[in-house]
Structure 1
Amino acid sequence: MLETYCLFFRHMLCLEPKNRHAGSSMFPTQAFEDAIRDEITAAINDRPVPKAAWEPAVDSLVMIRVVLRVEEEFALNLPDDVMPAGGFDSVEHCVATLVETCRKLWGAHYPVSEEV
């Protein structure tokens, strides 16, 4: 029983995130934007208490969910500085910043290859 559990656990540790876009060197801008907006909306809707007027539109708790979603769905490791202190004042600024960061990381992980 223990051996079966250990084999299963070892298998789970070796699994990599699914990246259905990895075969393409083209950056899937719309897919990133959709995932980010979807996770922001879900996180905001999951809030038990309405936000105060002085709170940022996208705070650190929302950003953690967004970062985890992007990392899992697209197999990218986002840097810690993608989450600024104080959060983002608007959803649009958050989406634009994350998409630009992801575009740079994508280019490093999936370089465009030229065929002759």
Structure 2
Amino acid sequence: MSFLRSLTATGWLAVAVLALSLALLGWCTLDSRRKAAQAVGKADAGQTIAEGRTAAAGDASAIRDRADERTSEIDATVKDGTDAIRHAPDRASANAAALRSLCRIDPSRDARCRVLLADPAEVG
């Protein structure tokens, strides 16, 4: 206790400045840790967004590839159906060829599609 009683006004000022400096240093340390934690959180969020965009781009590419493949299949089926219609000997054969072509593209289009597509000789 004698130490505290022996301090002069300048000594008390020095103690107050030291205490204030320590409090300020502690506050700056805590603030820096908070900012660092926020930066890590933002980096993690950015990485998650980037991974999501990469996955979405891959999904979009796969969907586009399947759509292109389906379009190619439909084009080939239409060409084959058109050729079959042109080379049909009569109107009934042309109608059957047209229905087979439609059934290959959309089997649920007509109830007769199951019958036409079930006979491999008719489909080929």
TM-score (norm 1): 0.23
The structure whose residues are more often helix, as a share, is 2
Structure ID, larger Rg: 2
